[in-house]
Chain A
Amino acid sequence: MTRRAAFGLIAGTALLALLGACAAVSPTASVPPKHPEELGPGRTDCAECHSDLSTGALKPYASFKHSSVFVREHGLYAAQGQNLCASCHGPSFCQECHGRKDELKPNVRMGDRPDRMLPHRGDYIVQHRIDGRLDPGSCFRCHGNKNDARCRACHK
């Protein structure tokens, strides 16, 4: 056993022991799996009805107002938990854009939703030359270590 593996084993055991000592799962009620009421159309602002903290995200509901700021940075919030998101969005919602090998672009599938901030509108093949040169990290999140068969045509 390597030193790194031994360290990992010890750290893992210590972690489990620590968590056990903390008396297992928090008794705070989990966020409901479904929002109890039908939501209206348009961009959601939880703060229209909620003024407190979400028991799911453990953050103020006001943080989740679906402004253009939130939509651009939703990934940072989702990375700390998706329970609150899942109250209103279906389980497949993320994959409407974060698909692994989708052939139809999101804006093609949702042509009736020009109000949504969907990526890659227009003939994006042209513009991607610029975006890819200037900020390839923004492409990498979705296309870097995931399958994207279309890239194969040029990037061999």
Chain B
Amino acid sequence: MGLTGAGAFPRPWAIRACVAVSLLVSAAWPAAAPAADVTLSSKTYLLYSRNDVTGGAKEKFLPLYEYLAADARDLGGMPLSFHFYGWGRQDLADDSGRGPRSGDIGSAFLLYRHPTGNAEARLGRFFLAEGTAAETLDGAFVKMRTPVGLGVSLFGGIPVEQSISGTQTGDSVYGGRLFFAAPGFAEIGATYLREKGSFAGDDREVVGGDIWLRPGLPIELIGRAAYNLSTKALASERYVLRITYIPRIDIMAGYEAYRYRDLFQTALNPAFLGPAIDNDDKVRTMFVVVDLEVMKGLTLEGAVKSIRHDRIDPGDASRGEIGVRYAYNDRKDTAGLSAAVVTADRDDNEYTEYRAFATFSPAAWRFALDALTHRYKTDLLATGSRDEYQVVASAGWQALSNLKVSGDLTYTRSPRLKEDYAALVKASLDLGAATGGKK
């Protein structure tokens, strides 16, 4: 039922340092409080889960989670804000063997947004997606664009990672992106990233390119490629041709390729390292996705994906899926049906999937039902079961304008689980100034 284990905090001093720095700098604006736009979002979850693992012990979980997000904008009347996101767990009854408590600070950073040119600066812990870099780091980030469309971003700090094996994490990460944007026509960028550490005996050093191009037609070309300087080879590439701007139709076709040795050289997770995988394998995928609004609120969705390997093992495969979704009740509610099938060279890669869901939101209430089933072609876990079923029923009540309470009941049966029952009680509290458009 979605529970994962938890390790210790990575670099506790770094967490304390980034929070302390951010809070101290925030506090340095004594005039901030009257002008600041402060919001606080608290989500509390109490989960009870009882499962019976096939061939294993029965387990019970009763964790209490608190997810907290806080945002303070317009500090000191300036375009300066502070953002925090983190969670903590306390087990009320612990049969999991994973420790009684855990938690994480996902982000805690100061953000300065310049009034022009979309220039910005961040300081603290933040999630960064910039060109071919996608990192969480304790550090700094600056980005600016000039009047002629040329722009630059720079970032640096300590990578927020945690080794789950004997592999060392990086000591520092830094890099930047140089880009050129012609509004409405193109954006082209080049990224450099270096993380010092021990990744297969070398640093993690990558240069990448990204492109968005709209050549005057109702199409877009989007792409991204990364070259691994440590292995001296192209690590990954992904290109998408999207037909959009036509009412009710959105179609894309794409190609992606990567070689294990070059993409996974930076892995810290042993699942991506030899001998778990064949480093000489290369994957090429081609995919098409179609989104067609046949009438107001009614959308047909379809997708096909072909996966081709250089190696016979694990072999090739194709996935096809089709679905329909209908939005109603002034788009507050949605119902959907979908089916997917995977065909493959190897029987143990094949399965079919069906899903149905619906929501209903009368007045202050919200009800949801979600049913999913998989049928695997082979007995994947040698448990005598090839079928999986999961049903989730949810009921929620908007008790106050800023307080919502809800409860979810989940039943799961799968090749791994003889059966799993779970109940989740959730309380969501939102405090603070109105945040127009916040989703």
Contact = CB atoms under 8 A, between A and B. Distances in A.
Contact of B129 (A60, A63, A78): A78
B151 to A, nearest CB: 8
B116 A26 contact: yes
A152 interface: yes
Nearest to A91: B83
B42 interface: no
A101 interface: yes
A133 interface: yes
Contacts of B47: 104, 108
Given A92-B69, A101-B7, A101-B162, A19 B380 contact: no
B6 A101 contact: yes
Interface string B130-154: 1110101000000011111110100
Contacts of B394: 111-112
A91 B45 contact: no
A113 B369 CA distance: 9
A80 B438 contact: no
Contacts of A89: 438-439
B113 A92 contact: no
Report the contact-size class of chain B (Cβ under 8 Å from the partner): 35 or more
Interface in A49-107: 53, 55-56, 58-60, 62-63, 65, 67-70, 72-73, 75-83, 87-95, 98-105, 107
Give the secondary structure class of B's interface. Answer: strand
A108 B281 CA distance: 34
A140 B45 contact: no
Given A78-B129, A91-B83, A111 B424 contact: yes
A100 B104 contact: yes
A91 B84 CA distance: 8
Interface in B228-273: 236, 238, 240, 242, 244-245, 250-252, 254, 256, 258, 260, 263-264, 266-272
Contacts of B438: 34-35, 88-90
Given A25-B145, A63-B220, A111-B392, A140 B240 contact: no
Contacts of A53: 183-184
A126 B87 CA distance: 27
A88 to B, nearest CB: 5
Nearest to B404: A112
B71 A100 contact: no
Contacts of B260: 136
Given A70-B250, A122-B374, A28 B116 contact: yes
Interface string B101-116: 0101011000101111
Contact of B118 (A56, A68, A75, A77): A56
A134 B416 CA distance: 20
Given A33-B113, A79-B224, A155-B270, A147 B330 contact: no
21 contacts: A25-B119, A26-B119, A30-B119, A33-B79, A59-B214, A67-B299, A69-B289, A77-B212, A91-B83, A101-B162, A102-B104, A108-B47, A114-B334, A121-B370, A126-B414, A126-B415, A134-B349, A136-B272, A140-B263, A145-B269, A156-B270
The 4 closest A-B CB pairs, nearest first, are A35-B437, A42-B331, A26-B117, A147-B162
Given A73-B222, A103-B4, A111-B410, 6 more contacts: A40-B331, A73-B254, A101-B7, A109-B45, A143-B271, A145-B161
